[in-house]
């Protein structure tokens, strides 16, 4: 199983934005130095929840600051973009990174509705816009003239330049946040980006994926390949001891929940539902404590895990140490774990 870091750096004070952006760059460079396979970027606007705010711009900066690590989107809120601008940006970043891009796409958050309001997009149109945008992206990266007449865009251009460095284009993974969307992608045999707080949750999702793909007539080798190209995102509070992880690290996660809940009633309800559960929606503890969940995750056959080490107002030193602990003690085990036969 491949391993990556999920950069989701929060900044509550505008005066601190520049510092936190710099810390996000340093965490990406640390991930490469420590041997991680990928760095994934989120997207949120107007609220400080994701301080670098514009993942294509930030990905271009990381392409110049690193040389080996894959750079992924988890995910671009596609409905907020003009498709030609998105196609150009992705193609340029793929060239700057020399083919290191993983294009994670989603319709956009249904939690942060203020983002749609800011961009003057009707949230009820998000899914339709998403589907149309993806079809335009593929036309743009074909190297042929682009003619498109759709519900939201009418496009007629001789050719998009530059074309992607990766041929025919970088890998596209869709975000799946519900069983329905997971089944929809499985029926097409497409790799996905999913979220799962536990290995059991990921295994459940993969079981749903396999059953839906099989029912759609997709062969077992194709299903295995799609799952091996998929990623699961996790949040993990890791410290040298369980006590430090729970007493020092976990409160940062709780503060993140409170901060976002104050901005969004939908997130407030989500956080309330999560906190009713027997355990928080993350892994928390020493490397030895969280090890089994990660090795069990690797045994599902999922291609990669991207771990969010920093949540809320967590200091950079705390998350950097967590990343190093993960790479020193957990990563060697999960990379060596053999998938369990389906």
Domain region containing 24: 2-74+172-336
Q: Interior CA angle at 226 toward 212 and 162, to 5°?
A: 125
DSSP 241-303: SHHHIIIIIHHHHHHHHHHHHTT-HHHHHHHHHHHHSSS-SSEEE-HHHHHHHHHHHHHTT-S
Q: Is residue 148 part of a domain?
A: no
CATH of the domain at 214: 3.20.20.30
Q: Is residue 322 part of a domain?
A: yes
Record the tokens describing residue 228, joined without a space: 């091996």
Q: Please list the residues that pair with 306 across neighbouring strands.
A: 4, 233
Q: What pLDDT, on a 0 to 100 scale, did the predictor assign at position 338?
A: 87
Q: Is residue 143 part of a domain?
A: no
Q: Is residue 93 part of a domain?
A: no
Q: What pLDDT, on a 0 to 100 scale, did the predictor assign at position 269?
A: 75
Q: How far apart are CA 153 and CA 55, in angstroms?
A: 23
Q: Is residue 28 part of a domain?
A: yes
Q: How far apart are CA 245 and CA 262, in angstroms?
A: 25
Q: How far apart are CA 320 and CA 309, in angstroms?
A: 8
Q: How many residues can be counted in the chain?
A: 342
Q: Is residue 62 part of a domain?
A: yes
Q: What pLDDT, on a 0 to 100 scale, did the predictor assign at position 265?
A: 75
Q: What pLDDT, on a 0 to 100 scale, did the predictor assign at position 267?
A: 75
Segments of the chain with pLDDT less than 70: 266, 268, 271-272, 274-278, 341-342
Q: Is residue 157 part of a domain?
A: no
Domain count, the chain: 1
Q: What pLDDT, on a 0 to 100 scale, did the predictor assign at position 275?
A: 67
């Amino acid at each position: 199983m491949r391993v990556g870091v999920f950069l989701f750096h929060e900044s509550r004070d505008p005066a601190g934005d520049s510092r936190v952006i710099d810390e996000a760059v340093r965490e990406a460079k640390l991930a490469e130095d420590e041997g991680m396979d990928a760095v994934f970027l989120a997207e949120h606007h107007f609220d400080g929840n994701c301080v670098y705010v514009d993942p294509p711009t930030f990905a271009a900066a990381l392409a110049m600051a690193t040389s080996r690590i894959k750079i992924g989107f988890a995910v671009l809120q596609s409905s907020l973009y003009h498709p030609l601008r998105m196609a150009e940006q992705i193609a340029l970043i793929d060239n700057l990174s020399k083919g290191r891009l993983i294009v994670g796409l989603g319709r956009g958050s249904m939690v942060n509705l203020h983002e749609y309001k800011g961009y003057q997009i009707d949230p009820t149109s998000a899914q339709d816009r998403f589907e149309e945008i993806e079809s335009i992206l593929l036309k743009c990266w074909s190297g042929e003239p682009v003619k498109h007449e759709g519900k939201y865009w009418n496009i007629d251009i001789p050719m998009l330049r530059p074309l992607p460095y990766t041929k025919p284009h970088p890998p596209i993974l869709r975000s799946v946040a519900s069983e329905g969307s997971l089944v929809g992608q499985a029926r097409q045999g497409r790799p996905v980006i999913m979220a799962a707080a536990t290995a059991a949750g990921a295994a459940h999702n993969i079981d749903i994926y396999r059953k839906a793909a099989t029912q759609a007539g997709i062969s077992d080798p194709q299903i295995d390949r799609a799952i091996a190209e998929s990623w699961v995102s996790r949040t993990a509070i890791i410290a040298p001891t369980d006590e430090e992880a729970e007493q020092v690290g976990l409160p940062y996660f709780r503060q993140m929940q409170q901060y976002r809940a104050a901005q969004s009633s939908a997130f407030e309800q989500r956080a309330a539902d999560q906190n009713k559960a027997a355990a928080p929606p993350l892994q928390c503890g020493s490397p030895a404590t969280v090890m089994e969940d990660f090795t069990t995750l690797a045994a599902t056959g999922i291609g990669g895990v991207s771990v969010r080490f920093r949540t809320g107002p967590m200091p950079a030193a705390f998350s950097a140490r967590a990343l190093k602990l993960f790479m020193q003690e957990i990563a060697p085990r999960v990379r060596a774990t053999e998938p369990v036969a389906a």
